[in-house]
Amino acid sequence: LHRRTVLKAMAGTGFLLALSPGFLLTGCDDGVIATEPGTLGLDSEEYDVELDLRATPDSASILPGAPSEVWRYRAKLLKGPGDTLSEIPDSYLGPTIRLRRGQTVKIQIHNELPEDTTVHWHGLHVPSDVDGQPRLPIPPGETMTVGFEVLDRAGLFWYHSHAHGEQGGRVGFQSYAGLAGLLIIEDDEERDLELPSGDNELLLVLQDRTFTGANELVYLDGGMGGMMERMRGFLGDRMLVNGVPPATRKVASRPYRVRVLNGSNARIYKLAWSDGRPVTVIGADGGLLREPEERPYVMLAPAQRLDIWVDLSESEPGRSLELISDHYDAGMMRGGMMDGGMMGGGMMGGGMMGGMGMMSSSALPVGSRFTLTRLEVAESVEASGQLPAQLGLHRQKIPVNTATRVRPFELSMVMMRGFAINGRRFEGTSVADDEKVRLGDTEIWEFRNNTPMPHPIHIHGLQFNVLGRRGGSRDSVRQGLVDSGWHDTVLVMPRETVQLAMKFERFDGLYMYHCHNMEHEDAGMMRYFRIEG
Ligand code: C2O
Ligand code: CU
Ligand code: CU
């Protein structure tokens, strides 16, 4: 086994760089703006909600035995409804922030870490300056205050670090260390549906992690071995759900709403029920679908969310049902020693990537079957709540036609340097001519994956429609790709082309688009684009 970066060693040093070889990375050279006094974004006299959010080193009991060193968000509610903040029990993840559409929000963010950080509101339609982008870092010991109005429809979003240092991205490390949390938006339309809520709404954050025998969190190594792992993205050797090992949850014989975030750095899950019942999907990244959809299983790539309805009202007390990640052909994403990185599913066969699986030691190979959560029916109740036939009544589609501009993006591999988008990698805020769009325009963005790996492509500041897919190897995942509804992250399978419809509304300025495999984005598979007003 090669040397690994252990969080404990890093958190204590004050200055830490578990950084990767320079040839994988690019610096962020321009556009760095110092923290300004005052509020970025919406600046008003009165806000509906005011929060104080700290990013801070801490320790947490994740596994039995010694506590683990983590970096985490701590929050205080200064003003607003009492249910705005809730802690996930026993979790080192950030508190769940519950906001309502139309609220104005002010958040003071304090950086108590030994390095720059930012807080990105993933999926939210917010002004560029409060989007938590790497161009606006919060240096150690400083505070940044952001304000915005909640414009999005009801949905499950999240917040996480988006820092990028001089030697490369820090999203992978900082999120891994614990800087991530859920953000729920509610609205009247959703409330009227009376979906299961409170104890009947299960929120699940899926993350894979590796620990030493002394319970120290282990991240990637900076050396050559780490480089190969960075190409694939971090894979842990055990699952954490909501920051703790998968557990049994006592439930009643009634319907549940299960809302799942893939908060992993690189792992893709194939969610299914252990008894083979279909998965009933009611929502995706940007909120509810128009109507429920049944799938044999559903794929969930890093940063994506799915909203699932499950009805346990036929289950006798004592019965249990497991949410699992099922077997699939992960090709070169596999992490097991035994899998050896040999290609399957028509993906690239050999070349420099061929030995990748061999370099890794994950005890939890991608594409293997494992349990995420066990629901045990502990009490029998009068069944309550029907699954509504119609869900999201709002507009579900951005109108496009043959005159809509198609903007092509090619995802490619640069030998020994990682991945690129249209041949370019992250260069701070520099924006090429073909990365400038006009405020008010509707466009089709076409991502062509010319690599043997899947890439979850994320676009900041908006929700898009997935128009269609062609080509590519996706046989063992095809039926699990939920493309209807609103999304901010789309899984583009190896050699596949995916078209997205999007509209640039309300805010101009700099936004980002990138692969949400965190090691890929940190290594430069990330760009800015500019919305010109
Ligand atoms: Cu969830 Cu640019 O990130
Ligand atoms: Cu984002
Ligand atoms: Cu990628």
Task: Give dist(CA 533, CA 309) in Å, integer.
Answer: 41
442-449 and 405-414 beta bridge pairing? parallel
Summarize the confidence of residues 27-38 as an average pLDDT.
44
What percent of the chain has a predicted confidence (pLDDT) above 70?
Answer: 86
Q: Is there a contact between 505 and 440 (Cβ–Cβ < 8 Å)?
A: yes
Amino acid identity of residue 196, one-letter, is P
Report the pLDDT value the prediction gives residue 13, as an integer from 0 to 100. 34
pLDDT reading at 34 higher than 60: no
Report the pLDDT value the prediction gives residue 339, as an integer from 0 to 100. 35
What distances in angstroms separate CA 532 from CA 121, 409, 504, one per listed residue?
22, 19, 9
Report CA(37)–ligand 2 centroid distance (Å): 24
Ligand nearest, relative to CA of residue 492: 3
Give the three-state DSSP class for 323.
strand
Closest of 489, 412, 501, 504 to residue 464, by C-alpha: 501
Residues in the chain: 533
pLDDT reading at 18 higher than 50: no
In tens, the pLDDT along 267-303 reads 999 999 999 999 999 999 999 999 999 999 999 999 9
What percent of the chain has a predicted confidence (pLDDT) above 90?
Answer: 77
Burial classification of residue 406, based on how many CB atoms lie within 10 Å of its CB (0-12 exposed, 13-18 middle, 19 or more buried): exposed
pLDDT-based confidence at 499, cuts 50/70/90? very high
pLDDT-based confidence at 326, cuts 50/70/90? very high
Q: Report which ligand 1 atom has the smallest distance to the Cα of 158.
A: 1
Whose C-alpha lies nearest to ligand 1, atom 1? 122
Task: Give dist(CA 266, CA 236) in Å, integer.
Answer: 9
Q: Report which ligand 1 atom has the smallest distance to the Cα of 512.
A: 2
Where b means 16+ CB within 10 Å and e means fewer, 440-452 reads eebbbbbbbbebb
In tens, the pLDDT along 53-90 reads 999 999 999 999 999 999 999 999 999 999 999 999 99
Report the pLDDT value the prediction gives residue 30, as an integer from 0 to 100. 39
In tens, the pLDDT along 448-493 reads 999 999 999 999 999 999 999 999 877 889 999 999 999 999 999 9
Where b means 16+ CB within 10 Å and e means fewer, 213-252 reads eebbbbbbbbeebbbbbbbbbbbbbbbbbbbbebeebebb
Ligand 1 shell residues, CB under 6 Å: 120, 122, 160, 162, 303, 458, 460, 512, 514, 516
Ligand nearest, relative to CA of residue 460: 2
- Helix, strand, coil percentages (3-state) for the chain, rounded to 5, are 10, 40, 50
Summarize the confidence of residues 139-162 as an average pLDDT.
97
- Give the sign of the dihedral formed by CA 379, CA 383, CA 384, CA 385: positive
Report the pLDDT value the prediction gives residue 167, as an integer from 0 to 100. 84
Summarize the confidence of residues 436-445 as an average pLDDT.
98
Output the average pLDDT for the chain. Answer: 88
Summarize the confidence of residues 417-432 as an average pLDDT.
94
Report the pLDDT value the prediction gives residue 225, as an integer from 0 to 100. 65
- The residue written with tokens 């506590």 in the block is 67
Closest of 355, 327, 332, 328 to residue 343, by C-alpha: 332
- The residue written with tokens 């349990």 in the block is 371
Report the pLDDT value the prediction gives residue 474, as an integer from 0 to 100. 76
pLDDT-based confidence at 230, cuts 50/70/90? confident
Residue 527: φ, ψ to 5°: -145, 160
Residue-by-residue DSSP string for 346-415: T---SGGGTTHHHH---SS-TT--EEEEEEEEEE------PPPS----S-------TTSEEEEEEEEEET
Whose C-alpha lies nearest to ligand 1, atom 3? 122
Report CA(376)–ligand 3 centroid distance (Å): 37
Report CA(122)–ligand 1 centroid distance (Å): 5
Report CA(278)–ligand 1 centroid distance (Å): 30
Question: What distance separates the 2 farthest-apart alpha carbons in the chain?
Answer: 62
- The residue written with tokens 């909640």 in the block is 150
Q: Report which ligand 1 atom has the smallest distance to the Cα of 123.
A: 1
Where b means 16+ CB within 10 Å and e means fewer, 134-147 reads bbbbbeeeeebbbb
Report CA(11)–ligand 3 centroid distance (Å): 27
Residue 173: φ, ψ to 5°: -65, -50
Task: Give dist(CA 348, CA 495) in Å, integer.
Answer: 9
Report CA(125)–ligand 2 centroid distance (Å): 10
Task: Give dist(CA 295, CA 285) in Å, integer.
Answer: 17
Of the two residues 121 and 361, the one the predictor is more confident about is: 121
Task: Give dist(CA 277, CA 21) in Å, integer.
Answer: 46
Q: Report which ligand 1 atom has the smallest distance to the Cα of 521.
A: 2
pLDDT-based confidence at 191, cuts 50/70/90? very high
Q: Is there a contact between 143 and 35 (Cβ–Cβ < 8 Å)?
A: yes
Q: Report which ligand 1 atom has the smallest distance to the Cα of 526.
A: 2
Ligand nearest, relative to CA of residue 304: 1
Report the pLDDT value the prediction gives residue 229, as an integer from 0 to 100. 79
Q: Is there a contact between 511 and 131 (Cβ–Cβ < 8 Å)?
A: yes
Report CA(428)–ligand 2 centroid distance (Å): 16
In tens, the pLDDT along 375-417 reads 999 999 987 789 999 998 888 999 999 999 999 999 999 877 7
Burial classification of residue 38, based on how many CB atoms lie within 10 Å of its CB (0-12 exposed, 13-18 middle, 19 or more buried): exposed
Report the pLDDT value the prediction gives residue 524, as an integer from 0 to 100. 94
pLDDT reading at 358 higher than 90: no
Reading the block at residue 195, the tokens are 């979906």
Report the pLDDT value the prediction gives residue 349, as an integer from 0 to 100. 30
Task: Give dist(CA 259, CA 29) in Å, integer.
Answer: 39
Ligand nearest, relative to CA of residue 513: 1
Number of neighbours of residue 103 by Cβ within 10 angstroms: 17
Report CA(70)–ligand 1 centroid distance (Å): 21
436-438 and 489-492 beta bridge pairing? unpaired
Beta bridge partners of 306: 260
Report the pLDDT value the prediction gives residue 8, as an integer from 0 to 100. 55
Instruction: Spell out which residues have Cβ within 5 A of ligand 2, the ion.
Output: 122, 460
Closest of 309, 298, 307, 227 to residue 269, by C-alpha: 298
Q: Name residues whose C-beta falls within 8 Å of residue 93's C-beta, 6 or more positions apart in sequence.
A: 72, 73, 178, 180, 181, 182, 205, 242, 243, 263
Summarize the confidence of residues 321-325 as an average pLDDT.
98
Q: Report which ligand 1 atom has the smallest distance to the Cα of 514.
A: 2
Ligand nearest, relative to CA of residue 302: 1
The DSSP output letter for 331 is: G
